[in-house]
Each structure stands twice: as C-alpha cells, then as structure tokens.
C-alpha cells in the first residue's frame, strides 16, 4: 500500500495524462460522470480541509490588504491584461481567455497546492475570497469591456459556491472533532485519493467533447498551444504576485492564478456563449491537467527560481 501511495504522489501527472487519453479514446462513461463534477470537487476539498488548519485560513483572510490585492489582481487586472491585447488579433480568443481568467480560483486548487507541497491555507483563503466576489466581477468585466451582458443568477451562483466550498469545510471540521484518531491514521492517503478524483474529472470533461476535439485536429492543436502559453504566463504572474510569501506561499499564489475554476467557465460558456468558446473552455482542461507536473518539479529546486 505504501508503494502505491508513493507512486500516486510522485507520478500523479501520469494519471492525469491517462485520464485525458481515455477521455479521447473511450469516453463511454464521461456523460454519466459529468453530473458528478461538483461532488468530486467537494470530496477533494473535504480531504484537503482535513489536512488544513482552518484557523490558518481565516488568519490569512484577516490580512485585508493582502486579500484586496490578490482579489483585484486575480479577478480584474489579469483578465483585462490578457483581453486587451488579444482583442486586437482575435475576438474569439480574447473573449474565451477573458472568460477563463475571470473565473475564481478553482475549488480544486487547494488540492493541487497540496500535491505541489504549497500553502493550502493561503490557497483556500484565495478560493473563498475570489469565489465570493466572482458573481459581481465576472459580469462587471464583460459589461465594462463592452462584450456582453451576462445575466447571471446571482443567488444560484452563490448557492453553488457555498455548497462547493463551505459544506466540505464544515464537514471536515466536524470529522476532525469526532474522528480525529481515524483521520490521523489515514491522512497519508488523502493526496493520493485526490489524484484519483482529479483523474476521473479530467476523463469526464475531455470525453464530453471528444467528437469536436478529434473532428478539427489542426484548429484544436493551435488553440491548445495558445492555451499552454496563457497558462504558463499565469504561472509566472501568480508566482511573482506572491513576492512577499515564502516558497510555499508562492506555490499557492501561482496555482490560484493558473488553476482557475474552468468547470464553471465551461458551464457559463455552454449557457451564454458560442460553441467555439465552449470548445476553447474544454480545451483549457489539457494545460490545466498537465502543467502541474513540470511546475511541481521546478518548485522542488527552489534555489534556481527564487525571486
């Protein structure tokens, strides 16, 4: 068992790639799994919160200057910085990138931060603050940049976000209070379990759009290349945003920037945007799923990347 856990932890990227390949080759279960994406996210967060001291999360949120800085950068500045130059070349790519980068930090980002050995408390605080403001900042961005009027159901968005974030947080605290001995004995399994859950999510999302992805290989290839460039830049921007943090804090800020809630972007694209934007959001799952591997490897050699 110990060898299996170590293998999952060290080679998690292999499992994510296998999930993508299986989604393209044999997506027979993808449609059945798609309705459970929120459940998988909640399960991942529950496991992360079991390993996270929630008092540290709220301690991070008490630093209101840091909260305001990160929130403005993640939710307003970064999306606008990507959209403005891209709009000069391709409106489709500009709108798609804006929608993607305007999303709050992904509910899975604390789990990814845990996999990358970062500060999960800081990551969780960024998830909470960016998620709370997202129903306001997303339509504000599209209105301010004169793109479209997203008539979001604010109450529905808040309800979904509260369920995704606060329910597993509360459940984890109850579990830690009444099952502390069992949690202490099994905590070494949680990161590996999150790798498996993330692999299932990747399989489901990629498989759901398999026919479109394989139907236009040339267009899909250059769009995917473009998205890789965007995600790499987001890693750099997020890392240097945490210039006041230690290495674990920088890992958290980089992951919060690069691993946004693209599942939410997929839902919004399906409801409010063209099929072309929807496909772009689905393709974002490819760099989202694969770049954590080289990122964690680089982070394992801090003397080479210290700012």
- Helix runs in 145-216, H state only: 154-178, 180-186, 190-208, 210-215
Q: What is the pLDDT along the chain (307 residues), one digit of tens a residue?
A: 556 666 666 666 677 778 888 888 888 888 888 888 878 878 887 887 787 766 766 776 777 788 889 889 999 999 999 999 998 888 889 999 999 999 888 877 887 888 888 888 888 888 888 877 887 888 888 877 766 545 556 567 667 767 777 788 889 889 988 888 888 888 878 877 877 887 888 888 888 878 877 888 888 899 999 999 999 999 999 999 988 888 899 999 999 999 988 877 877 777 677 778 888 888 888 898 788 888 988 887 654 444 4
Phi-psi region of 48 (alpha: psi -120 to 50; beta: other; left: phi over 0): alpha
pTM, two decimals, is 0.75
Q: What is the CA radius of gyration of the chain?
A: 18
Q: Are 82 and 117 in contact (CB under 8 A)?
A: no
Domains and CATH numbers, the chain: 2-6+30-302 (1.20.1530.20)
Longest dimension (CA), the chain: 58
Q: CA nearest 253: which of 243, 265, 266?
A: 243
Judging by beta carbons within 10 Å of its beta carbon (0-12, 13-18, 19+), is residue 290 exposed, middle or buried? middle
């Amino acid at each position: 068992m110990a060898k299996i856990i170590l293998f999952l932890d060290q080679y998690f990227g292999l499992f994510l790639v296998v999930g993508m390949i299986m989604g393209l080759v044999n997506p027979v279960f993808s449609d059945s799994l798609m309705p459970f994406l929120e459940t998988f996210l909640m399960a991942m967060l529950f496991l992360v919160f079991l390993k996270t001291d929630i008092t540290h999360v709220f301690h991070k949120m008490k630093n209101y200057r840091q909260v305001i800085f990160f929130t403005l950068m993640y939710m307003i500045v970064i999306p606008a910085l990507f959209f403005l130059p891209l709009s000069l070349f391709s409106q489709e790519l500009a709108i798609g990138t804006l929608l993607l980068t305007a999303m709050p930090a992904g509910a899975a980002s604390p789990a990814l931060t845990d996999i990358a050995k970062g500060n999960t408390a800081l990551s969780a605080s960024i998830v909470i603050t960016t998620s709370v403001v997202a129903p306001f900042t997303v339509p504000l961005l599209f209105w301010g940049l004169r793109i479209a009027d997203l008539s979001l159901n604010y109450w529905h968005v808040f309800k979904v976000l509260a369920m995704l974030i606060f329910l597993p947080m509360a459940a984890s605290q109850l579990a830690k209070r009444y099952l502390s001995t069992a949690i202490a004995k099994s905590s070494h399994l949680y990161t590996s379990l999150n790798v498996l859950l993330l692999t299932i999510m990747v399989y489901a999302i990629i498989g759901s759009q398999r026919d479109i992805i394989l139907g236009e290989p040339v267009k899909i290839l250059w769009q995917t290349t473009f998205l890789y460039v965007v995600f790499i830049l987001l890693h750099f921007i997020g890392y240097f945003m945490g210039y006041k943090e230690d290495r674990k804090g920088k890992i958290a800020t980089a992951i919060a920037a690069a691993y946004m809630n693209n599942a939410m972007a997929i839902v919004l694209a399906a409801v409010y945007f063209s099929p072309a934007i929807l496909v772009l959001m689905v393709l974002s799952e490819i760099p989202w799923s694969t770049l954590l591997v080289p990122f964690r490897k680089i982070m394992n050699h801090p003397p080479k990347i210290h700012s």
